[in-house]
Structure 1
Amino acid sequence: MRTSRGRDVRGRVERMERTGSGEQEQGEDAVQESEQSQGQGPVAVRDSGSAGSTGGTGGSGGAGGSGGTGGSGGAGGSGGTGGSEGSGAPPRGAGPLASFAYTAADEEKQRGVRRMKLTATGLLLLVAIVYVLATWAKNSGVGGWPGYVAAAAEAGMVGALADWFAVTALFRRPLGLPIPHTAIIPTKKDQLGQSLGSFVGENFLSGDVIRDRIHALGVGRRLGVWLAEPAHADRVTAELATALRGALTVLRDSDVQAVVGEAITRRADAAEVGPGLGKMLEKVVTDGGHRKVVDLVCVRAHDWLVEHGDSVMNAVQGGAPGWTPRFVDKRVGERVYKELLRFVTEMRDMPEHPARGSIDTFLTDFAADLQSDADTRARVERLKSEILGRGEVQDVIASAWSSVRTMILSAAEDERSELRLRARASLMSLGAKLASDGRLQGKVDGWLEDAAVYVVTTYRAEITSLISETVAGWDADQTSKKIEAHIGRDLQFIRINGTVVGALAGLAIYTVSHALGG
């Protein structure tokens, strides 16, 4: 009958695996019944390391190993013949986050946990054997000392079992019993995540903590010392050049040209240029800077008249009435040419020529009109708008960006370019000043403190919710197994210490009781 029942149960398990139906708990119960029907029986202490070696019910957080028939896979799914790995397959619809999956590294740590479980369980068995032998010796009348040993061993067993229960209750229900406040991590995972987020927000993301920490670090001084090193300055310069090249590569020329053109046009439209031009012209006239331009114009005009005298006379004759005699037109042309040449020559050679004074007066008045005359300023604005609206001007702006982009890329790629050399020198100079100037260090630390405080106070809720929501997204069984793999080995020392401390306490209590006549 036992064999028939085992076949029936195994058949149910196989059907559940094929159809994908059934809950995880039902699969585990079926496997446990199958083990019982084969005479193996369930593992008595699920937290012990033997669960991993026999492939029993998966209570150790990894029921892989050599595995018994149908050993449970631990986190979910059935183990099949020979027992599956400790990670198992997660239940349907409860897939853990990929970044928090149970990995091979975790399995390696879990092996260390299982070894420590065997050690702690072995110590429990040792004190149990000592208790049996000491009790037998005491009842056999060997002497008084077996009583002390039996008391110590008895208390050691109590301490070992109590600490086994406490450690096991963190990750699962001891012996599978539905005892309240057990399996704390799987059942209270979300609450623990919320508590962790609140704890981090209250104790780490407060303005005072951030300010004190940054002030204690002395970021400004450290940054200065670091930047003052030529190798570090070269590294920062290279990183900045790489970032600059990347940014210029990503940006489309057409987009940048449109933005730059629009920005220049908007800026020029928003700013009235008349008063500025007037002030500039007034200063030029006051300083006499325009006289060199007048001198140059006079020299060029004189030279042109000398070389093109016939052209001037022909132009005058061509504009004469048709009824005048040709010799009269010729004499008039010669006269006009001579007067023009004399006038230009006198302007060239006479700094105090009346025409030069007239030019000074005109420019002075024009500078004043540009600053105060509404009509003049309006005409200048209209002229400005017409110039900016011309396609040739926009083409110049576009070509200017292309030239600037090419120049920047070339300078960024060349380690010996003026741009990179100046950037390196500036960084080293800044570093040297930061390293020695306490006032500047205070400013930098203050800026960093203000920025960090702003970030943590503005986004504290988002940061804490990131913690709680991330923990909530973890699979409960995977989380329990992963945490146990990381801290379970140390927790087994609690069991060992509980055994030792319990034995010492029991020995002390028995000694005091015996001394008092108990």
Structure 2
Amino acid sequence: MKNRIGTISLAVALIGLVFFELMLRGGHLSHQGWKVVLAGFEAAAIGGFADWFAVSALFREIPIPYFKRHTNIIAKNRDKLTEGIVDLVTNQWLSPVVISEKISEINPTHTIISFLKKPHNQQKTIAVVKRIVVKLADEVDNPKMASALKSILNEQIHELDLTSTLAKWLEKSIKNGDHHQLWELVIEASSTAISSPDTRKLLLSKLEYAAAEYGHKSLVKRLTISIGKSVGGIDLDVLAEELLRNAEEFLTEAKANPTHPIRSKFDEWMLDFAQKVASGDGDSRKMIADFIQGLTQHSDAEKIIQNLLTGFKETIRQQLKHDETPLMQFVISKLNKVILEMETDLEVQNKINHWIKDTVSQLITQFHGEIGNMVRNSLSKLDNEELVAQIEDKVGSDLQYIRLNGAVVGGLVGIIIALIRLI
């Protein structure tokens, strides 16, 4: 009914006009009051027709001579209409001021914290970070990287107090227990290296060399080695396998136990060494300085750096394979710690909010014109029929009330004028 209310109002006005005109002309109605009613329907018909023309002229062409050029207004003026919509959206509805005011009302840090606290969102975030790190790691062992690092080291090494910095970091890490994840990384990397076929080949070659050297010391020793090999008493393959197995078991125990004797002993030695360096012990500081100097000045420094980068790349790729590796456990624990600290530290939240809002405001100001371009491009993709159809679909029903109001108001005005004439 809503879409036809304008047509119905016009039809009622026309029927009323024809009916009362015939009744008055036929002498069936003679009172002056009926002329007032007729005037009302007459004015209603005029108003209804006028508003039908006005509304219809917006959306389509009306083939009436002379008036035809003033119809199909939306299609003929689509450029002006488009720019008007763009101006309305960009400078009023979505102006930089309006957007900035809306942004000032939100708390982006709270939203980020709530998002990251959900396990599945955290997993998605970590997965994205993994992909980025893997992409970056693929380029870590680029020869140009090794050359650049060597040049940087040679240029900056004398200006940096790496000795004191390294000592302070090492002492703090050991005291706080932050180095346990690093221990596990080192142990896992060592375990991987031990399990490598190349390691077995190298160990076997060393055992064979040691056995040969032992045999060269005397005839008796050479005969002992020879007899042992021939009767199976000395099997270098088995010996190599056993040594590697024991080494791997040892590393597994050390990895699982932070208080393992070898780890505790090494921690004590490293802590003592760090404290000596920090206190200014000449021999300890010279040891680090000589190591750094020797590393940077070595003729194969670039090759060493290249090998380190290659190993680092492979270690990173292995550590990122799943979330149970020491590196990923370290990252996840640190992420949860950061989330907890952010959640309770309002000062940090305010700083992050301020940075995000300032950055977004700058981007909005810089790229605000793109909003208008998007609106303009969206409208340009529509042909005239599609544009008119979309607008009519949104406002056409409401415009029917203009036609209804035209008929009603026209009728009332007609009645008032007729009454004035009778006075």
Q: TM-score, normalised by structure 2?
A: 0.60
CA shift digits 1:28-83 (9 cap, x unpaired):
xxxxxxxxxxxxxxxxxxxxxxxxxxxxxxxxxxxxxxxxxxxxxxxxxxxxxxxx
Q: Which has the higher contact order (CA 8 A, sep 6+)?
A: 2
Distance 1:218 1:367 in 2: 53
Structure 1 unmatched ranges of 5 or more:
1-114, 285-310, 315-359
Where does 1:304-343 land on structure 2 (aligned, <5 Å)? none
Residue equivalent to 2:386: 478
**Following TM superposition, by how much is the alpha carbon of 1:264 offset from its aligned partner in structure 2, in angstroms?**
6.9
| 131, 153, 172: which one aligns with 2:41 | 153
Residue equivalent to 1:195: 84
| 32, 37, 57: which one aligns with 1:169 | 57
Residue equivalent to 1:129: 15
Residue equivalent to 1:91: none
Distance 1:386 1:276 in 2: 24
Please give the secondary structure, in 1, of the residue aligned with 2:69: coil
Over 3 Å counting, the alpha-carbon distance change for 1:396 and 1:117 in structure 2 is: closer
**Following TM superposition, by how much is the alpha carbon of 1:432 offset from its aligned partner in structure 2, in angstroms?**
4.8
Over 3 Å counting, the alpha-carbon distance change for 1:368 and 1:422 in structure 2 is: closer
Residue equivalent to 1:502: 410
CA contact (8 A) 1:210 1:452 kept: no
CA contact (8 A) 1:227 1:427 kept: no
Please give the secondary structure, in 1, of the residue aligned with 2:30: coil
| 367, 389, 393: which one aligns with 2:303 | 389
Residue equivalent to 1:273: 157
Q: What RMSD, in angstroms, separates the aligned Cα atoms of the two structures?
A: 4.1
| 63, 68, 77: which one aligns with 1:179 | 68
Residue equivalent to 1:398: 313
CA contact (8 A) 2:6 2:404 kept: yes
**Following TM superposition, by how much is the alpha carbon of 1:396 offset from its aligned partner in structure 2, in angstroms?**
1.9
Over 3 Å counting, the alpha-carbon distance change for 1:125 and 1:509 in structure 2 is: same
Distance 2:88 2:377 in 1: 15
| 244, 252, 257: which one aligns with 2:126 | 244
CA shift digits 1:408-453 (9 cap, x unpaired):
586899xxx67546535643553454xxx4x656544433432232
| 199, 208, 216: which one aligns with 2:97 | 208
**Following TM superposition, by how much is the alpha carbon of 1:382 offset from its aligned partner in structure 2, in angstroms?**
1.0
CA shift digits 1:125-156 (9 cap, x unpaired):
22112122323444535312212211211111
Please give the secondary structure, in 1, of the residue aligned with 2:138: helix
Distance 1:182 1:238 in 2: 58
Over 3 Å counting, the alpha-carbon distance change for 1:135 and 1:395 in structure 2 is: closer
More helix by share: 2
Determine if the alignment matches structure 1 residue 461 to structure 2 residue 369.
yes
Distance 1:509 1:441 in 2: 71
Counterpart amino acid of residue 248 in structure 1: K
Determine if the alignment matches structure 1 residue 120 to structure 2 residue 6.
yes
CA contact (8 A) 2:140 2:310 kept: no
**Following TM superposition, by how much is the alpha carbon of 1:468 offset from its aligned partner in structure 2, in angstroms?**
1.6
Determine if the alignment matches structure 1 residue 430 to structure 2 residue 345.
no
Counterpart amino acid of residue 509 in structure 1: I
CA shift digits 1:211-240 (9 cap, x unpaired):
22222x2335xx53x6676xx5543x4224
Distance 1:171 1:366 in 2: 89
Distance 1:119 1:489 in 2: 9
Over 3 Å counting, the alpha-carbon distance change for 1:218 and 1:247 in structure 2 is: closer
CA contact (8 A) 1:130 1:150 kept: yes
Distance 2:69 2:96 in 1: 40
| 360, 378, 385: which one aligns with 1:452 | 360
CA contact (8 A) 1:156 1:501 kept: yes
Distance 1:392 1:441 in 2: 42
Please give the secondary structure, in 1, of the residue aligned with 2:320: helix
Q: TM-score, normalised by structure 1?
A: 0.50
**Following TM superposition, by how much is the alpha carbon of 1:282 offset from its aligned partner in structure 2, in angstroms?**
9.5
Larger Rg: 1
CA shift digits 1:366-398 (9 cap, x unpaired):
957998xxx999766312x63342354343222
Over 3 Å counting, the alpha-carbon distance change for 1:175 and 1:122 in structure 2 is: farther
CA contact (8 A) 1:228 1:432 kept: no
Distance 2:85 2:34 in 1: 50
Counterpart amino acid of residue 256 in structure 1: A
Over 3 Å counting, the alpha-carbon distance change for 1:389 and 1:239 in structure 2 is: same
Residue equivalent to 1:92: none
What number of residue pairs does the alignment pair up? 308
**Following TM superposition, by how much is the alpha carbon of 1:205 offset from its aligned partner in structure 2, in angstroms?**
4.5
Over 3 Å counting, the alpha-carbon distance change for 1:144 and 1:422 in structure 2 is: farther
Determine if the alignment matches structure 1 residue 257 to structure 2 residue 138.
yes
